[in-house]
Structure 1
Amino acid sequence: MDNRYESSESQRNKCAACYRQFNKMEHLVEHMRTSYHSAHEPMCGICKKHCRSFESLREHLIGPLPKVECERIFKERGCDLCLTILSSRNALYVHREKCQFSRSNNIGLTHRMANLGIQDDLKIDNNRAKVVSLACKMVGGGSDGSLDLCARVCLIDEYEKIIFHTYVKPHLPVTNYRYETTGIRPEFLRDALPLWQVQKKIQDYLCNGEPVWQIRSRCGKGRILVGHGLDHDLKSLEVEYPQMMLRDTAKYPPLMKTSKLSNSLKYLMKAYLGYDIQIGIQDPYEDCVATMRLYMRMRSQRHKVEEYPLASEPQNRNNFAAWRQSELEKMSPEKMLDISRSDYHCWCLDSSS
């Protein structure tokens, strides 16, 4: 009798999202208060366990210590790129053809054109773009060449068309051109646009006619900016832009390591889109395409629609307030999960903006 009671208590104190078990209900409440479980977390298609990142989900499905039953099913009909579970092996085969990108086929002609010339005027026909991707290539400055100076920048729209692509003349002397990876020679920068001109062009384009301090995340004119390590790129360009408009693949929780550190863009492309980038001399256009494709894949996820999806919104701030402790301890784990909200902006929300 006692054993049955303890078993039912442990089930009641089990998180409905990550399946962690707690000795007391008050401990589960505290866990829900700080975990920010939500419908936007990566979730196992077999046992429905929520994971903080796709890397955590990958460990759950593949190893080093996977859940045995989930691992077995995943090996039979799971996509190793998007981690979706399909209904059959045949369905998996059809899905995999669409899920995996081919570097040579998909970058193709536009990539070759990007290398043929520099486009230092913004394309007027791209003024309607709502989402753009930016990437820079850095040369070295300072006595030891370790100071990053932007020497080439590219901006594309969500259809991977070039908006702006130019060499940049840094305001400090270049002491290391890093030719092996940048392909940049001194003569390329001799008549390049000075940094201040590039900065103004990009700043004006991103703001799209609005002062930077008036840009809003919804219903405004400012454009969503996608990239990898955007803070570093924007600092090198001396461009100011609101954090709420940045979509950084280096900082997006579902794309980060289990340890909450950033993954490299090269790794993310191989793991989630199935092809290699940054081989030999690197082109910023290729990085733009890579981050845009990652963004579009994350944005296309179908999650439960919630009227107020973020924990930071006023309507959700009291969901797990301390003064509700007694009430929360009487709730089922499923009910607590239902009122829990995300602590990060899921990119699927951009589709409805």
Structure 2
Amino acid sequence: MHGCRNKCGGCYRQFNKKEHLVEHMRTSYHSVHEPTCGICNKHCRSFDSLREHLIGPLPKQECKNIFSICGCRFCLTILESPNARRIHQERCQFSNGLTARMAVLGLRDNPTIDYTSSRSPRVVALSCKMVGGGSDGSLDLCARVCITDESENVIFHTYVKPTLPITNYRYETTGIRPENIRDAMPLKQAQRKIKEFLCYGEPMWKIRPRSGKARILVGHGLDSHLDCLQLEYSSFMIRDTAEYPPLMKTSKLSNSLKYLTQAYLGYDIHVGMQDPYEDCVTTMRLYKRMRNQKHKTDAYPLASDTHNTNNYASWRQSELESMSEDELLNLSGSDYYCWCLDSVP
């Protein structure tokens, strides 16, 4: 006869000994910010994991049955009825329509940063398109950059002249030709304009999260974009859809922007030539979808907060082992910054 099993109040894993459950809680970082099944309340490490729980090859059958009738396949929310689901999903799915919008915007004619049209936006998205340098054309060089605001307006767009010779224009995906680069803005000038705009008068060392004037920067794979711009920016202010745990694969690897757009926004991108405006709009939409999640108020939302340091300290072991599953869960804190906190005043 098996002994009493100890079940995690978050992910429902079971352990033979309470001490093993406590050790699991030390390292799992379950919190109100994790993607959670709207049916059985199971905590999942990512939306990819939650999707597998609901509609994967081996889903929880009861949850799958309800989700198939009342679940939104984009945000994974459970609605009250099939009709409520239909109405919600029509709003939840974005239409693309960016090709026509790009033509109207005249992206190729905006080489200066427009500070006025966006009323000093707090959040902006950035994307670059790279051409190839080096003998084999594999070195990424920034040749085009775009910045947009939350309303999908273009704040800055320009072709960029790299400091190294271009050996491969990668025309099939970038659409960039030599004549686009001939009289383009020098990289150093573009870099200076972007840095001034992002910092908004604050020195880099003084930038702090959720205070001051510096802008939140949204993008996908921003490390490579900032590298090719030879630009550093405060990690506090970066929101990268390639590095955000809820949007990453179950294996903790990054999902492509193409996959994220299809899965969570419901349309296709990168069909033919790729435009940085399209990437800016898409990453901003993903960011806003994550930011707009309604999570319970958490007094100390990060496990790294000093208030949470001793929650699972070894000297509390006997006390922890006497706690219920729910009490242990309530001690946990997230180990990443949830973007819903950006909407908190």
TM range (shorter): over 0.9
Match status 1:219 vs 2:219:
no
Higher helix share: 1
Cα distance change on mapping 1:127 and 1:213 into 2, 3 Å: farther
The match for 2:40 is 47
Kept in 2, the 8 Å contact 1:207–1:221? The answer is yes
Q: 1:59 aligns with which of 40, 52, 61?
A: 52
Q: 2:31 aligns with which of 13, 26, 38?
A: 38
RMSD: 1.2
Match status 1:192 vs 2:184:
yes
State the alpha-carbon separation in 1 of the partners of residues 155 and 101 from structure 2.
12
State the alpha-carbon separation in 2 of the partners of residues 233 and 155 from structure 1.
12
Q: What is the one-letter code of the residue matched to 2:336?
A: Y
Match status 1:302 vs 2:294:
yes
Query: Gapped runs of 5+ residues in structure 2?
Result: none
The match for 2:162 is 170
State the alpha-carbon separation in 2 of the partners of residues 243 and 116 from structure 1.
28
| Deviation readout 1:267-305 (Å, 9 max, x if unpaired) | 100000000011111110000000000000000000011
**1:1-353 to 2 correspondences below 5 Å:** 6=3, 9-10=4-5, 13-104=6-97, 107=98, 110-115=101-106, 117-125=108-116, 126=118, 128-353=120-345
TM norm structure 2: 0.98
Kept in 1, the 8 Å contact 2:107–2:157? The answer is no
State the alpha-carbon separation in 2 of the partners of residues 272 and 87 from structure 1.
20
Kept in 2, the 8 Å contact 1:154–1:288? The answer is yes
| Deviation readout 1:113-134 (Å, 9 max, x if unpaired) | 3455331111121352100000
Q: What is the one-letter code of the residue matched to 1:190?
A: R
SS of alignment partner, residue 75 of structure 2 = coil
Which segment drifts farther, 118-127 or 316-325?
Answer: 118-127
State the alpha-carbon separation in 2 of the partners of residues 220 and 250 from structure 1.
26
State the alpha-carbon separation in 2 of the partners of residues 220 and 278 from structure 1.
36
SS of alignment partner, residue 41 of structure 2 = coil
Identity %: 66
Q: What is the one-letter code of the residue matched to 1:59?
A: E
Number of equivalences: 344
Query: Gapped runs of 5+ residues in structure 1?
Result: none
State the alpha-carbon separation in 2 of the partners of residues 115 and 234 from structure 1.
24
Kept in 2, the 8 Å contact 1:118–1:167? The answer is no
Cα distance change on mapping 1:136 and 1:296 into 2, 3 Å: same
